[in-house]
A and B are shown apart, each in its own frame.
Chain A
Amino acid sequence: MTDPKQRITEAEAIEQAKQGHEAAFETLYQLHKRRVYSLCLRMVSNPAQAEDLAQEAFLQLFRKIGTFRGESAFSTWLHRMTVNVVLMQLRKKGLPVVSLEETLEAEDEAPRKEFGTEDARLTGSIDRLQLQRAIDRLPPGYRTVFVLHDVEGFEHNEIAQIVGCSIGNSKSQLHKARLKLRDYLKFMRAEKAKTG
């Protein structure tokens, strides 16, 4: 927000933005910039690209602000638009949005025991930077579903609709993503423990 004296509600900002007032656009931007940018960054793991995508998402939103009628929450509208912008970018680059795998593979079924019983569990909280780095390492398909579900809170039926896969596929991808993250995080912890 800018000058405290000029604070307005989101609903007021939307109406003023429809009239072309810059301060209103900025208010809407300030309210939602972190959510939009974070989503983009989690999906593409590149700050410069995430900035471009966030910029594009807001531009698309602001160009269409005149059509917003308030049937759904503004944030939901923006959120969905951001996801579409990111997925379009991923598809343009030829990156897989989700894997075509439908079911768990045999080798993924057994619980993992690579790191010994003494350090078998991720105890306590996970370092945020390490979790971010682990997410960045995920294959694009796994990362998309993980970010949409666990980070952004979309349900599987919504993810299936957004990315064009089945609900079962979405669940399968999410589970594999979590398993991979667990492996990455344990590996990182083991490496850090070695280097002290």
Chain B
Amino acid sequence: MTCSEVERVLPELVDGAPDGAFPADFELHVKSCPACSDLLSDLKLIADQARDLAASEEPAPRVWVRIAAQLREEGIIRDAESRPVLVPVSPRRRWTSTAWWLAPVAACLLAAGAYVVSHKPVPQVASRVSTPAVTTPTPENSVMKAAADSTKAAAVASATRPIPAAQSPSRKFAAPADVVASAAKPTVEPQPSAEDQQFLSVVSTRAPSMRATYEDQLQKVNANIREVQAYLVRYPGDADARQQLLDAYQQKALLYQIALDRIQ
């Protein structure tokens, strides 16, 4: 039994062959030949791990938005009483005092993501200006922190796809020069951030039936962000991973935006 003969039947081995399907000297060769043994082991590992990739990715909320819009246009959705969760049902309205900060935060998430994608792996530089510590998640503190991140990231060209984010309010809250941080990586909290908590609080107040859904969506996108960030810690120069992180930021920003449109 040669290695070449063994490799001819490897596909059956990897996918599971019934007992006795192959002669005894074949199994003996596989056990005694390190190269064939390693090859079989590796191919089985690849096939096994591949199964975990099925249903492993989450599409952006905008996919459902587009589907629902198209179905309505074609008259396939026919009821006027159903309440979609992630589909804006009314044009953007005047912001209320409780939710005005959502738009700049959404814009800042996008800017932060664009910064991450564009940032080149350079030696770490200590921040010249420390970000004000946020002890109480007030709208003002959230906006200040978001504004600081936004200003730092706004200087970097974005290669992202256009997403309807509120631009005017973010410029309105642009921070002065002395609060611009250096080119350190933007931080994303591993726990629900103050902004996320406020976001959910507002949703609970304005649209309580949607809180569970938004909380679930937020947890998923935050988990995705954490996973890719952890990967980038090990492999900071990985451009694909950076793009994935940007996509995750975009998804989170869109979630905020859709909520903003819904609860106005």
A residues with CB within 8 A of B:
1-5, 19-23, 25-26, 29, 33-39, 41-42, 47-48, 50-51, 54-55, 58-59, 62-63, 104, 108-113, 117, 120-122, 125-129, 131-133, 135-136, 146, 150-153, 171, 174-175, 178-179, 181-182, 185, 192, 195
Q: A59-B71, A120-B35, A151-B51 are in contact. List 9 more A-B contacts (CB 8 A).
A: A2-B210, A22-B79, A25-B68, A34-B59, A54-B63, A121-B38, A121-B41, A125-B49, A129-B228
Q: Measured between C-beta atoms, what is the minimum distance from A152 to chain B in Å? A: 6
B residues with CB within 8 A of A:
3-4, 7-8, 10-11, 14, 34-36, 38-39, 41-43, 45-47, 49-60, 62-64, 66-68, 70-72, 74, 76-79, 82-86, 161, 209-210, 212-213, 228, 231, 234-235, 237, 240-241, 244, 247
Give A182 to B66 CA distance when docked, in angstroms: 38
Question: In the complex the two chains form, is B77's CB within 8 Å of A175's CB?
Answer: no
Q: Measured between C-beta atoms, what is the minimum distance from A101 to chain B in Å? A: 14
Please name all residues of chain A whose beta carbon is closer than 8 Å to the beta carbon of B235 when the two chains form the complex: 192, 195
Please name all residues of chain B whose beta carbon is closer than 8 Å to the beta carbon of A126 when the two chains form the complex: 45-46, 49
Question: In the complex the two chains form, is B47's CB within 8 Å of A128's CB?
Answer: no
Please name all residues of chain B whose beta carbon is closer than 8 Å to the beta carbon of A39 when the two chains form the complex: 54
Give A121 to B14 CA distance when docked, in angstroms: 15
- The chain B residue with its CB closest to the CB of A120 is B38
Please name all residues of chain A whose beta carbon is closer than 8 Å to the beta carbon of B83 when the two chains form the complex: 23
Q: Tell which of B4, B34, B52 touches A110, judged by Cβ atoms closer than 8 Å.
A: B4
Q: Measured between C-beta atoms, what is the minimum distance from A144 to chain B in Å? A: 13
- The chain A residue with its CB closest to the CB of B60 is A51
The A-B contact count (CB < 8 A) is: 176
Q: A131-B49, A178-B47 are in contact. Are A26 and B84 (CB under 8 A)?
A: yes
Q: Measured between C-beta atoms, what is the minimum distance from B174 to chain A in Å? A: 30
Question: In the complex the two chains form, is B62's CB within 8 Å of A51's CB?
Answer: yes
Question: In the complex the two chains form, is B64's CB within 8 Å of A33's CB?
Answer: yes
Q: A126-B46, A174-B11 are in contact. Are A111 and B54 (CB under 8 A)?
A: no
- The chain A residue with its CB closest to the CB of B6 is A111
- The chain B residue with its CB closest to the CB of A45 is B240
Give A5 to B74 CA distance when docked, in angstroms: 29
Question: In the complex the two chains form, is B231's CB within 8 Å of A112's CB?
Answer: no
Question: In the complex the two chains form, is B213's CB within 8 Å of A2's CB?
Answer: yes
Question: In the complex the two chains form, is B63's CB within 8 Å of A20's CB?
Answer: no
Please name all residues of chain B whose beta carbon is closer than 8 Å to the beta carbon of A50 when the two chains form the complex: 57, 59
Q: A62-B67, A113-B35 are in contact. Are A153 and B54 (CB under 8 A)?
A: yes
Q: A23-B82, A55-B63, A59-B67 are in contact. Are A182 and B46 (CB under 8 A)?
A: yes
Q: A33-B59, A51-B60, A131-B49 are in contact. Are A21 and B79 (CB under 8 A)?
A: yes
Q: Measured between C-beta atoms, what is the minimum distance from A27 to chain B in Å? A: 10
Question: In the complex the two chains form, is A151's CB within 8 Å of B212's CB?
Answer: no
Q: Tell which of B34, B53, B58, B71 touches A42, judged by Cβ atoms closer than 8 Å.
A: B53
List of 7 A-B pairs having minimum Cβ-Cβ separation, nearest first: A20-B78, A150-B50, A37-B59, A22-B82, A34-B55, A111-B35, A38-B57
